[in-house]
Structure 1
Amino acid sequence: MNKQHFLLAVSFLTRVPVHFKQEIEDNALSEASGYFALVGLLLGSALAVVFGITSLIFPPSVAVILTLALGVLITGAFHEDGFADVWDGFGGGWTVSQKLSIMKDSRLGTYGASALILLLLLKFQLLSLLSGSFTQVLCALVLGHTLSRAMATSIIGKLAYVQEDAQSKVKPVAMSLSSHAKDFLVLTSLCTLFVLWLCMPLSFIDVVILVIALFITRHLCISWFKQQLGGYTGDCLGAAQQCCEVIVYLTLVALWM
Structure 2
Amino acid sequence: MMRPGDIVAAIGLLSRLPVPVDGERVAARGAAAGWAYPLAGLVVGVMVAAVASLAVWMGVPGGVAAALALATSVIITGAMHEDGLADSADGLWGGWDRDRRLEIMKDSRIGVYGVSALMLSFLIRWLALAPFVTAGLHWPVILTVAMVSRTGMVGVMALLQHARDDGLSRSVGRPSPATALIAILIAAVPAVYFWNVGIIMIACVVALTTLVCALIAKAKIGGQTGDILGATQQMVEMAVLLTLLVLISS
TM-score by length of structure 1 reads: 0.89
Which consecutive residues of structure 1, in runs of 5 or more, have no partner in the other structure? none
Decide whether aligned partners of structure 1 residues 96 and 188 sit closer, same or farther in structure 2, where only a CA change above 3 A counts: same
Q: Which residue number corresponds to residue 214 of structure 2?
A: 222
- Distance in 1 separating the partners of 2:67 and 2:27: 38
Q: Which residue number corresponds to residue 236 of structure 1?
A: 228
- Distance in 1 separating the partners of 2:24 and 2:224: 28
- Distance in 1 separating the partners of 2:23 and 2:184: 28
Q: Secondary structure of 2:224's match?
A: coil
- Distance in 2 separating the partners of 1:179 and 1:127: 32
Contact 1:5–1:29 (CA<8 Å) still a contact in 2?
no
Q: Which residue number corresponds to residue 184 of structure 1?
A: 182
Contact 1:140–1:248 (CA<8 Å) still a contact in 2?
no
- Distance in 1 separating the partners of 2:223 and 2:44: 29
- Distance in 1 separating the partners of 2:26 and 2:12: 15
Query: How far has the Cα of 1:22 moved from its partner?
Result: 7.5
Contact 2:63–2:130 (CA<8 Å) still a contact in 1?
yes
- Distance in 2 separating the partners of 1:111 and 1:29: 31
Kindly indicate whether residue 204 of structure 2 is the aligned counterpart of residue 207 of structure 1: no
Query: How far has the Cα of 1:176 moved from its partner?
Result: 1.4
AA at the equivalent of 1:241? Q
Query: How far has the Cα of 1:131 moved from its partner?
Result: 2.4
Q: Secondary structure of 2:25's match?
A: coil
Query: How far has the Cα of 1:181 moved from its partner?
Result: 2.7
Q: Which residue number corresponds to residue 149 of structure 1?
A: 150
- Distance in 2 separating the partners of 1:107 and 1:27: 32
Decide whether aligned partners of structure 1 residues 229 and 172 sit closer, same or farther in structure 2, where only a CA change above 3 A counts: closer
Contact 2:9–2:26 (CA<8 Å) still a contact in 1?
no
Number of residues of Structure 1 aligned to a counterpart in Structure 2? 246
- Distance in 2 separating the partners of 1:116 and 1:79: 10
Query: How far has the Cα of 1:151 moved from its partner?
Result: 1.6
Query: How far has the Cα of 1:179 moved from its partner?
Result: 5.5
Q: Which runs of 4+ in 1 moved over 4 A?
A: none
Q: Which residue number corresponds to residue 94 of structure 2?
A: 92
- Distance in 2 separating the partners of 1:11 and 1:235: 17
Decide whether aligned partners of structure 1 residues 22 and 47 sit closer, same or farther in structure 2, where only a CA change above 3 A counts: closer
Q: Secondary structure of 1:203's match?
A: helix
Contact 2:206–2:239 (CA<8 Å) still a contact in 1?
yes
Larger fraction in helix: 2
Query: How far has the Cα of 1:118 moved from its partner?
Result: 1.0
Decide whether aligned partners of structure 1 residues 256 and 20 sit closer, same or farther in structure 2, where only a CA change above 3 A counts: closer
AA at the equivalent of 2:129? L
Deviation per residue, 1:114-162 (Å, 9 max, x gap): 1101110111111112222222x11221111100111221111311111
Query: How far has the Cα of 1:190 moved from its partner?
Result: 2.6
Decide whether aligned partners of structure 1 residues 130 and 21 sit closer, same or farther in structure 2, where only a CA change above 3 A counts: closer
| Identity among equivalent pairs (%) | 31
Kindly indicate whether residue 3 of structure 2 is the aligned counterpart of residue 2 of structure 1: yes
Q: Which residue number corresponds to residue 139 of structure 2?
A: 138
Deviation per residue, 1:160-207 (Å, 9 max, x gap): 1111xx4x5x2345321136533431331132223xx2xxxx234510
Q: Which residue number corresponds to residue 102 of structure 1?
A: 104
Q: Which residue number corresponds to residue 54 of structure 1?
A: 55
AA at the equivalent of 2:168? K
Query: For 1:76-87, what aligned pairs fall within 5 Å after superposition?
Result: 76-87=78-89
- Distance in 1 separating the partners of 2:26 and 2:188: 29
AA at the equivalent of 1:42? V
- Distance in 1 separating the partners of 2:131 and 2:149: 20
Which consecutive residues of structure 2, in runs of 5 or more, have no partner in the other structure? none
AA at the equivalent of 2:107? D
Query: How far has the Cα of 1:61 moved from its partner?
Result: 1.3
Kindly indicate whether residue 130 of structure 2 is the aligned counterpart of residue 128 of structure 1: yes
Q: Which residue number corresponds to residue 74 of structure 1?
A: 76
Q: Which residue number corresponds to residue 27 of structure 1?
A: 28
